[in-house]
Structure 1
């Protein structure tokens, strides 16, 4: 029997990057999946590839209504919800506070935190009753920036530290019905985009000159991760049978930052 046979999962930010790798791994493990994302083209391709086991919704994680619609779509299509995976996030192109213009600071903060923190809260809130009914679980994508400085700029690093706090508080609040955990990827070869307005030079993460080499050299394992390198950890945390006593925990998948 596959690890997630007959399980149903709602994933935000699942059309590309780490989220897409998690979707594909969950499907391989027998789950049905609903994906909320803004990328209509990639959602359509995903739906076409997996017509029976995937449902998609083009929407914004910063909207509670869109998250609630995704949950309703999930329940209508599959009859239950066992896991919510919050994954959608935007970067800040390593912008330090000194480079953020005072007149843009509040707007940049709001844009990034609305996606990286409020987006997770919306997904959790919308999923709550269905997850209580299934005695399910929540998995949030953190980052090594949730524990160490320098992996992003002041806004991104602060937002990911907030996600760590969110995991701990939700694990406390939602026990014993719902387990809440996180996965903390390190530098990964994805096209993660930066929030608008923080830098005129902003570009997708893996387009930055020297990114792959510098990221690999910074960790003991000496390589940059593929998106799929992290996916098995989400499966582990989504399985109430394989991790029944794990809550309030973040699993690091970052090439050994903690050892360094």
Structure 2
């Protein structure tokens, strides 16, 4: 007997789906019965995913800061799969924990524009391009936030500000697009991925070896885990499924319990 899959018959677009959390979510969605369009930049990785998943996937090479790329992804998804149920706005870049003091003056404008264009404007454009089709299916939008959308020291000031902006975007769109479209987010904590600081900040990043980074991440949350990308899949699947039909304007904090850290070192 075939076991029912929570996303059977659903169609999703995942931006930034060629690596890290986006790729993990795309793979899980396919496993759960969905058809997936990935919008990404790496032609090599897009081709590899297309070869691996065949008819279950559609890949589109594009730039999330360009509205035309989102339009293309939506149009090709409709042509290939006939509808759109889910948008996962996941594409994002990082500032490498570069603090205000270490931010290079000569790259301030470039760093701010690059991070906000991809992390915030890219999400807004994705939602705009997909909204009319999502209304038809009473679908949903899921944004990838970050623990830095709620707490300090999850990045530098530019990245942290961009993720706070996404939380605001989720709440506003959840209000505006109800009742037809649900809008939510997932806020991963420190996760072992290949994400690095944008190029103009690379020289200002404090270097740390992978093993130390992993230990540092685990030490910061109550569950003492350095998450892998796939550790967040359950939250993305839940929010995309009909099991979450009463949930909108919510961010699931998949971060090892950062909100209950308490006062470090305090015992009574």
Higher Cα Rg, which structure:
2
Which whole-Å CA distance do the structure 2 matches of 1:144 and 1:206 have between them? 20
Q: Does 1:157 align with 2:160?
A: yes
Q: What are the within-5 Å matches in structure 2 for residues 29-44 of structure 1?
A: 29-44=32-47
Q: Does 1:257 align with 2:267?
A: no
Which whole-Å CA distance do the structure 2 matches of 1:34 and 1:124 have between them? 15
Structure 1 residue 199 displacement after superposition: 3.4
Residues 189 and 206 in structure 1, CA contact (< 8 A), matched pair in contact too = no
Which whole-Å CA distance do the structure 1 matches of 2:211 and 2:32 have between them? 36
Change (3 A) 1:77 1:207: farther
Q: Does 1:141 align with 2:144?
A: yes
**Aligned match of 2:87 in 84, 87, 91?**
84
Structure 1 residue 129 displacement after superposition: 0.7
Q: Does 1:245 align with 2:243?
A: no
Q: Does 1:216 align with 2:215?
A: no
* RMSD over equivalenced CA pairs, Å: 1.4
Change (3 A) 1:207 1:56: farther
Output one character per residue of 1:111-157: Cα deviation in whole Å (capped at 9) or x when no partner.
Answer: 11000001101110110111011110000000000000001001001
Which whole-Å CA distance do the structure 2 matches of 1:223 and 1:217 have between them? 8
For structure 2, the residue ranges without an aligned partner over 5 or more in a row are 262-268
TM-score relative to the length of structure 1: 0.96
**Aligned match of 2:115 in 109, 112, 116?**
112
Bigger mean CA deviation after superposition, 191-200 or 131-140: 191-200
Residues 145 and 161 in structure 1, CA contact (< 8 A), matched pair in contact too = yes
Which whole-Å CA distance do the structure 2 matches of 1:56 and 1:249 have between them? 29
Three-state SS of the structure 2 residue aligned to 1:145 is helix
Q: How many residues align structurally?
A: 258
Residues 102 and 204 in structure 2, CA contact (< 8 A), matched pair in contact too = no
Which whole-Å CA distance do the structure 2 matches of 1:103 and 1:190 have between them? 28
Structure 1 residue 103 displacement after superposition: 3.0
Q: Which stretches of structure 1, 4 residues or longer, exceed 4 Å deviation after superposition?
A: 205-209
